[in-house]
Amino acid sequence: MALYKHVPSLAALKHLVAEEIFQRWQLPPATDGAEGGLRLYMHVFTTSVCEFVKAHPGVTPYVIRRMAATEPMLEKIDRHQTHVAQTFGISKSQSRWLLATVTFFCISAADTIYSAVNREPALSADQQAEQLELEQEFMQGVSALIEGALLVMQRQVK
């Protein structure tokens, strides 16, 4: 009962927990001189997104929707978008679109993949092989999404 003196409801508590988890997430820094540039960074970023989802089952509803995000979460997202735009010489709107597009797909797909795994008591060798195959197919889809998104961005610039 003492908790509810500080937090008005279970929903508010879930938002606070999600915010804390999100704030602790170390977004990978973008480096301009890195070989592969923006393309490589997007792969590094999506790996980070997938690991975040895998490590924190149940948090996705609080980070996938802007309406559910708190002001500190939105500020962190904005700083990251600005950082990526400045590092790779793209506009803020391009950075926002690219990161949002890829993040939305990765969070929702990773949540679907990993939520089922987390409910299994123990994976057999067959289930582990199936999980690995599913993850490989997922990463192929991520690669295709990144390539397509970068092509769309290039066409918009021309």
CATH architecture of 2-157: Orthogonal Bundle (1.10)
List, for residues 81-101, the tens digit of each pLDDT value: 999 999 999 999 999 999 999
Indicate if the pLDDT at residue 46 is higher than 60.
yes
pLDDT of residue 119: 53
pLDDT value of position 155: 87
Q: Which of 45, 146, 41 is nearest to 87 (CA)?
A: 41
Long-range contacts of residues 82-90, Cβ cutoff 8 Å, at least 24 apart: 83/29, 83/30, 84/30, 84/38, 84/41, 87/30, 87/31, 87/32, 87/41, 88/30, 88/32, 88/37, 88/38, 88/41, 90/38, 90/153
pLDDT of 158 > 70? The answer is no
Q: Domain map of the chain by residue range?
A: 2-157
Residue 113 has what pLDDT?
Answer: 79
Structure-token pair, residue 57: 């089952």
**Does the structure show a pLDDT above 80 at 117?**
no
User: 14 is written with which tokens?
Assistant: 């879930």
Instruction: Give the pLDDT of residue 1.
Output: 56
Mean pLDDT, the chain, whole residue set: 85
